[in-house]
Amino acid sequence: MQNRTLGNNGPLVSALGLGCMGMSDFYGTRDDAESIATIHHALDRGLTLLDTADVYGPHTNEELVGKAIRGRRRNAFVATKFGIVRDPADPAKRGANGRPEYVRASCDASLKRLGIDTIDLYYQHRVDKDVPIEETVGAMAELVAAGKVRYLGLSEAGAATVDRACKVHPIAALQSEFSLWTRDPQGNGMLDACRRNGVALVAYSPLGRGFLTGAIRSPDDFDADDYRRNSPRFQGENFARNLALVEQVQALAADKGCSPAQLALAWVLAQGEDVIAIPGTKKRSRLDENLGALDVRLDAAELAAIDAVFPPDAVAGARYAGAMMQMVNA
Ligand SMILES: NC(=O)c1ccc[n+]([C@@H]2O[C@H](COP(=O)([O-])OP(=O)(O)OC[C@H]3O[C@@H](n4cnc5c(N)ncnc54)[C@H](OP(=O)(O)O)[C@@H]3O)[C@@H](O)[C@H]2O)c1
């Protein structure tokens, strides 16, 4: 397995992690048996970084990951998150909570659901604009001192927030959406902030929530309750325009002799040795396909060819709908 360092002087983790969210939430039907088999297969293949969050389910994804790592704890590097609050009365609504007492209570609850004594990487999932980042990270630092957490992370924090957070405690990782169709970290100063502070960038949704693989041909491919049905990039004219871009990716992948998913992941990994990608799948066969991206090397001419057919601002539609968009890059 190829490993990368999680931030300056941080631990080594697999260059490709496994995003576990879709196993329990957002992306259609659950199959817990196959999901657990996929996590086991990942660990057997030397993938260490498992990504979950308390809000996935909510709670059921941490429970699933906890069940899967029982007896295999030593092989797993467990990353989870706190700070997005769901409203039971309105499942589409989201809030952020970064208050110190909430940080402490969330950590204890995650440890219990995961069935572990220490979380390897604990992220604030979204910045709470009503609580100074220093207060939230201060509370997270106390969790490190107490031995409940090993490394700290932020998710979708803007450059200025990263700078401020790193003055309170080292931040090992910033998790942000980053892929061929979401280049935000390169355009908004986020990646620069990571580099000046020695923070790794963990790219979430590196397959464009599945779209960049070419497997999604129509919005009707989704189950009725699939989250993507309500996502701007997967709707109407946007869908058609984005599909035309993906067809170009498919052609380049065919030339390269790899799958479109592998090309999309290889592109993310080529953006720097400090970038780690966490593609999500609940199927062993797709995990194997995705790990094959580690053998795909893109040279400068190939990266330029990808940029030519899929320029940074080519995507149609916002990556989140409405209020959710206000919560990113904060
Ligand atoms: N910090 C945040 O705010 C945030 C937000 C979103 C996600 N995340 C994390 O990032 C992880 C990854 O992101 P993601 O799951 O949203 O998106 P993704 O990794 O871009 O794509 C996942 C989707 O692609 C499909 N897929 C995976 N490999 C495939 C292949 N080789 N061929 C065809 N389809 C394939 C999966 O379906 P199958 O499962 O059916 O294979 C799933 O529907 C999540 O699991 C989560 O842990 C974090």
**pLDDT tens, 72-131?**
999 999 999 999 999 888 877 889 999 999 999 999 999 999 999 999 999 999 999 999
Q: How confident is the model at residue 322 (pLDDT cuts 50, 70, 90)?
A: confident
**What is the domain-level CATH number for residue 116?**
3.20.20.100
pLDDT of residue 329 exceeding 90: no
Pull the structure tokens for residue 43.
């660990």
Q: How confident is the model at residue 242 (pLDDT cuts 50, 70, 90)?
A: very high
Task: Give the residue, by CA position, lying nearest to ligand 1 atom 27.
Answer: 281
Whether 83 is covered by a domain: the verdict is yes
For residue 19, give the nearest of 315, 293, 290 by alpha carbon.
Answer: 290
pLDDT in tens, 283-320: 999 999 999 999 999 999 999 999 999 999 999 999 99
Whether 280 is covered by a domain: the verdict is yes
Instruction: Please give the pLDDT value at position 184.
Output: 95
DSSP 73: G
Tell me if the pTM is above 0.85: yes
Helices assigned H by DSSP within the chain? 32-44, 60-69, 100-114, 133-145, 159-168, 184-187, 190-197, 236-256, 260-269, 284-291, 300-309, 322-326
Q: How confident is the model at residue 162 (pLDDT cuts 50, 70, 90)?
A: very high
- CA dist., res. 94 & res. 240, Å (int): 29
- Please, how many CA atoms are within 13 Å of residue 87, restricted to the half-sphere of its CB? 7
Pull the structure tokens for residue 187.
């355009």
What do you get for the CA distance between the two ends of the chain, in Å? Answer: 34
Whether 50 is covered by a domain: the verdict is yes
More confident site: 232 or 92? 232
Query: Tokens 């001419």 map to which residue?
Result: 301
Q: Is 88 exposed, middle or buried (0-12, 13-18, 19+ CB in 10 A)?
A: exposed
Q: How far is the CA of 181 from the centre of ligand 1 (A)?
A: 14
Q: How far is the CA of 132 from the centre of ligand 1 (A)?
A: 31
Q: How far is the CA of 19 from the centre of ligand 1 (A)?
A: 6
Residue type, 268: V
85 three-class SS: strand
Average pLDDT for 204-218: 97
Task: Give the residue, by CA position, lying nearest to ligand 1 atom 30.
Answer: 286
Instruction: Please give the pLDDT value at position 47.
Output: 98
Contact criterion met (CB below 8 Å) for 294 and 276: no
Pull the structure tokens for residue 298.
């893109």
Whether 223 is covered by a domain: the verdict is no
Q: Is 224 exposed, middle or buried (0-12, 13-18, 19+ CB in 10 A)?
A: exposed
Helix-then-strand count for the chain, H and E: 12, 12
pLDDT of residue 63 exceeding 80: yes
**Which atom of ligand 1 is nearest to 176's Cα?**
1
Instruction: Please give the pLDDT value at position 90.
Output: 83
Instruction: Please give the pLDDT value at position 102.
Output: 98
Ligand 1, CB within 6 Å, residue ranges: 19-22, 27, 51, 125, 155-156, 175, 204-210, 213, 215, 261, 278-283, 286, 289-290
Contact criterion met (CB below 8 Å) for 78 and 111: no
Instruction: Please give the pLDDT value at position 316.
Output: 97
- CA dist., res. 228 & res. 239, Å (int): 11
- Tell me the Cα Rg of the chain: 19
Pocket test of ligand 1: the residue of 85, 281, 283 to mutate, having most ligand atoms within 8 Å of its CB, is: 281
Instruction: Please give the pLDDT value at position 88.
Output: 81
Whether 226 is covered by a domain: the verdict is no
Contact criterion met (CB below 8 Å) for 5 and 276: no
Find the domain containing 159 and state its range: 3-210+268-296
Cis peptide before 11 (omega within 30 of 0): no
Q: How many domains does the chain have?
A: 1
For residue 283, give the nearest of 204, 196, 213, 186 by alpha carbon.
Answer: 213
Task: Give the residue, by CA position, lying nearest to ligand 1 atom 19.
Answer: 279
Instruction: Please give the pLDDT value at position 36.
Output: 98
Q: How far is the CA of 206 from the centre of ligand 1 (A)?
A: 7
Cα distances from 227 to residues 26, 87, 233, 246, 280, in angstroms, run: 5, 16, 12, 20, 15
Instruction: Please give the pLDDT value at position 195.
Output: 98
For residue 211, give the nearest of 221, 201, 202, 223 by alpha carbon.
Answer: 221
Percent of the chain with pLDDT over 90: 92
Whether 255 is covered by a domain: the verdict is no
Q: What average pLDDT does the chain have? A: 96
User: Which are the catalytic amino acids?
Assistant: 56
pLDDT of residue 266 exceeding 80: yes
Q: Is 163 exposed, middle or buried (0-12, 13-18, 19+ CB in 10 A)?
A: middle
Whether 257 is covered by a domain: the verdict is no
203 three-class SS: strand
Q: How far is the CA of 153 from the centre of ligand 1 (A)?
A: 20
Q: Is 145 exposed, middle or buried (0-12, 13-18, 19+ CB in 10 A)?
A: exposed
Whether 137 is covered by a domain: the verdict is yes
**Which atom of ligand 1 is nearest to 286's Cα?**
31
